Structure 1
């Protein structure tokens, strides 16, 4: 078995934060946001430039730099190389003599803003550029691999494609549709406390009343219309109503649940971002500031734009603006 050489290195990838569910769109709707992690990856197969594994993390998640091969980007790179090898015309190996990884992380970890999806997508996109047969991992295969690693497509879809995405699974794999929302700005309220996605999912019941499921289906359809046609905050307030997951998860994040209730009582469309505990509000920073005491202190307020582009290789690369819809 021959060993694959790299196309060129290092490769620099920028990946956006994402917010999944958006209220009623459980495990299907996602939004890319203008908060980014920057990842630089360099692989040396022959060991002529460097050897060994080096991981440097600045910002969020610096504590995971010591995980070595268990670091999520490193393990994703391995799996992506293997997936590309399976599509290559000749047998090649995925071992490398040296790997250098540098991350500048701005996406908060375990807060419901897609930090793990960003790491996975960064690894997949970097592998497509680094591997000499990387073009064989097409967009559908990249989405499938990222979904397999993450477990569900709602965050990886907007991280790959940008904008607003609807993701679903079929017997042949996950699919996505990318849409352009007419939303100028959102505000993310990020608490200091973290919440593991596994814990949040563990609070969900095995079944829900038919009336709640029917209500969510209607609200999710309305939400797509409201976001893409600019129907305004009154319609968005109705469209972001959820009965499937937020109330069940509230005991694990009472402050977030209370903030959602407070904002919605003031007419602000607000939801739990992903599995929480971040709260996402479809509003502007000036409106939030005007509410003052109602919001309270204890939150890092991030005014964010919708990111029109998904993960992409930085300008010294040639891959263009992320995955195609």
Structure 2
């Protein structure tokens, strides 16, 4: 973080009354073989107005997804992330008035917790503009410290397809532009899935041959997503995590098998239980939706989504 010179050197000016608008995309992590490494930003958003106030407590209003379910105090994930960023900047955090309009499903493998963390970090960035500046690497580090892994927060922050990795100096990322022929489809069930439960089903070690298999498919997947969408079916094969988690989401596993047998590049979205289909054209998406409607035992919501290329944004609401 870099402190910027302000009137009254060394004194943080009052932030009370400053309001920012934050917009954060949904994400899908792993994308099949790219476990804890690859992530894709999708054009479905949580949007928030965040105002710095001099009230005694935070004032939080949630509309849409999570309304009546998420906490409305300092334990709210957006507030916790903002507080983490303020603390790292060495600046006292004011009380916040937050009005959130959420559309990213919770507990479905679409990065809702990562989006909330990124929203809080970006709100802090916007409120502290002109006082403290955050670099992209610092934003990623702050978000990763709370999320635990960079594969969801990287695409939420930066958009597009991201490769994320961790160095001794902190997490890093590379953003890539997805081929215009890639047409993502997300299939969302009514039931949720705990990320912690999904991770608990993952073994500590895997066979060497499976690791080599996934290295080849991960490399192929990057080529397929940015240059050769016709390779997506082969590129989304995985032996590292999806089949270990299948017992916790049997219908997800069964529908993925049905879709892939019909030629659709279907994978578990994040920790699940949603399904991501990386179709190569809109007509393929329609066929995948029809197939799920015919094969599913329970209700699934189809979300044809574009790739988000901008990532999270924060602007002064008064501009």
| TM-score (norm: length of structure 1) | 0.88
Out of 34, 47, 57, the residue aligned to residue 38 of structure 1 is 47
Contact 2:126 2:315 (C-alpha < 8 Å) held by counterparts: no
| Structure 1 SS opposite 2:263 | coil
Out of 113, 120, 124, the residue aligned to residue 121 of structure 2 is 124
Query: Within 2, Cα distance between the matches of 1:3 and 1:135?
Result: 9
Mapped pair 1:273 → 2:269? yes
Query: Within 1, Cα distance between the matches of 2:307 and 2:30?
Result: 15
Contact 1:3 1:95 (C-alpha < 8 Å) held by counterparts: no
RMSD: 1.9
Specify the alignment match of 2:79 in structure 1. Answer: 74
Stretches of structure 2 that go unaligned for 5 or more consecutive residues are 1-9
Specify the alignment match of 2:300 in structure 1. Answer: 299
**1:207-257, CA deviations, whole angstroms, 9 ceiling, x for partnerless residues?**
00000000000000000001100331xx21110000000000001100101
Specify the alignment match of 1:244 in structure 2. Answer: 240
Q: Compared with structure 1, are the counterparts of its residues 204 and 280 closer, same or farther at alpha carbon in structure 2 (3 Å cutoff)?
A: same
Query: Within 2, Cα distance between the matches of 1:254 and 1:301?
Result: 19
Contact 1:6 1:130 (C-alpha < 8 Å) held by counterparts: yes
How many angstroms does 1:312 deviate by? 0.3
198-207 or 177-186, which deviates more: 177-186
Stretches of structure 1 that go unaligned for 5 or more consecutive residues are 86-92, 319-325
| TM-score (norm: length of structure 2) | 0.90
Mapped pair 1:173 → 2:170? yes
Specify the alignment match of 1:212 in structure 2. Answer: 210
Query: Within 1, Cα distance between the matches of 2:108 and 2:156?
Result: 16
177-186 or 103-112, which deviates more: 177-186
Query: Within 1, Cα distance between the matches of 2:129 and 2:244?
Result: 47
Query: Within 1, Cα distance between the matches of 2:315 and 2:134?
Result: 19
| Structure 1 SS opposite 2:114 | helix
191-200 or 63-72, which deviates more: 63-72
55-64 or 166-175, which deviates more: 55-64
Contact 1:188 1:278 (C-alpha < 8 Å) held by counterparts: yes
Contact 1:34 1:304 (C-alpha < 8 Å) held by counterparts: yes
**1:187-211, CA deviations, whole angstroms, 9 ceiling, x for partnerless residues?**
1010011011111000000100000
Moved segments of 4+, more than 4 Å: 1-4, 132-135, 314-318
Query: Within 1, Cα distance between the matches of 2:290 and 2:186?
Result: 16
| Structure 1 SS opposite 2:308 | coil
How many angstroms does 1:296 deviate by? 6.0
| Structure 1 SS opposite 2:36 | strand
Contact 1:8 1:130 (C-alpha < 8 Å) held by counterparts: no
Contact 1:59 1:106 (C-alpha < 8 Å) held by counterparts: yes
| Correspondence list, 1:1-325, <5 A | 5-6=14-15, 9-44=18-53, 47=54, 50-85=55-90, 93-96=91-94, 98-132=95-129, 135-182=132-179, 183-232=181-230, 235-283=231-279, 284=282, 285-291=285-291, 292-294=293-295, 298-314=299-315, 316=317
Contact 2:159 2:310 (C-alpha < 8 Å) held by counterparts: yes
How many angstroms does 1:84 deviate by? 1.4
- Aligned pairs, how many? 304
How many angstroms does 1:64 deviate by? 4.0
